[in-house]
Amino acid sequence: MTSLSALADSRELLANLTARELRGKYKRSTLGWAWSLLNPLVLAGMFTVVFSLIFRAPAPVGHPSGLKVFPLFLLIGLLPWNFVSNGINGAIDSLTSNANLVKKVYFPREVLVGASVLSWLVSLGIEVGVLVLALLVAGNMVLPWLPVLVVLLVLQTVFVVGVGLALSVLNVYFRDVQHFVALFLQLWFYATPIVYPLSFVQSFVERHHAQLHGVPVLALYHLNPMVGFVESYRRVLYDLRWPAFGDLAYITVASVGMLLVGALLFRRFEPRLAEEL
């Protein structure tokens, strides 16, 4: 897989371009990195007000942790989601916004996509760091689970890089891709148990069993890899227990598969990039 080995060979360039993204992002803002934290906090606050105060949805109880704090429950799903959303959008932009570079200098182009995703991973890392502190303050002893968290983060990065490679190169040929993705991400957000617990979907399916005519709604719902990701993050950070084996297996397969598909597509379309941009 030349695409992936190219990415591995240019680690230093990858690091430098990631640093460029990060430095450029908040360079001239007064709050700088605080923006990276402020954004999810405001979102979490907003959803907390809407769901737990207006709709009076009870905060789910972590088992076995016994934690019952809606904003934390929400953030554990929201932060990985933001990584997916920002990472994919950033990756799509990465080729078109660096068109000049692609046209004038030779280097493995995958690096641009990789650097964009990595810059968002760094943001996620900081956000998760703060989240872990908050969880500790709330009494959740998450420290022993951090290695599992790292595994999940790596898998998710693989997933986002795969999606990013595929969409970024398609976007060069069809600029509709980015608009379509913007729309799709909104739907995807609500198809993922972020603002609601997975149990909602389960009880919905049980209640409406008759009307569904045997359509395997729950299985279809689980096809969304983000369901597995968010559930696994919740179990590790909120419940303090091992992710379900099925979820873990599925997201591993989905991530690696997505990466292969992305790398193949990228390799297929990469040769004409400089002239199509």
Binds other proteins (CB under 8 A): choice among 3, 36, 89, 98: 98
CA 223, CA 127: separation in Å to the nearest integer? 27
184 touches other proteins by CB under 8 A: no
Hey, what are 168's tokens? Answer: 């970024």
CA 177, CA 168: separation in Å to the nearest integer? 8
Residue among 118, 109, 33 nearest 267 (CA): 109
Q: If you count them, how many residues does the chain have?
A: 277
CB of 93 to other proteins, least distance (A): 15
Binds other proteins (CB under 8 A): choice among 175, 208, 209, 268: 175
CA 257, CA 181: separation in Å to the nearest integer? 20
Neighbours of 144 (CB within 10 A): 8
CA 60, CA 66: separation in Å to the nearest integer? 9
CA 257, CA 162: separation in Å to the nearest integer? 8
Residue among 139, 127, 138, 22 nearest 78 (CA): 127
**Cβ closer to other proteins: 206 or 275?**
275
CA 238, CA 245: separation in Å to the nearest integer? 17
**Cβ closer to other proteins: 22 or 131?**
22
Region binding other proteins by CB under 8 A among candidate stretches 13-21, 42-50, 61-69, 257-265 = 13-21
**Cβ closer to other proteins: 63 or 176?**
176
**Cβ closer to other proteins: 9 or 208?**
9
274 touches other proteins by CB under 8 A: yes
CA 224, CA 220: separation in Å to the nearest integer? 8
- Residues 15-54 vs other proteins: string with x where CB under 8 A? -xx-xx--xx--xx--------------------------
Binds other proteins (CB under 8 A): choice among 54, 105, 183, 187: 105
- Residues 107-126 vs other proteins: string with x where CB under 8 A? x-------------------
Region binding other proteins by CB under 8 A among candidate stretches 77-85, 142-150, 175-183, 207-215 = 175-183
Binds other proteins (CB under 8 A): choice among 8, 35, 66, 180: 180
- Written as one letter, the residue type at 185 is L
275 touches other proteins by CB under 8 A: yes
Which helix (DSSP H) or strand (DSSP E) does residue 240 occupy? Answer: none
Residue numbers of the site for other proteins (CB under 8 A)?
A: 12-13, 16-17, 19-20, 23-24, 27-28, 98, 100-107, 172-177, 180, 271-272, 274-275
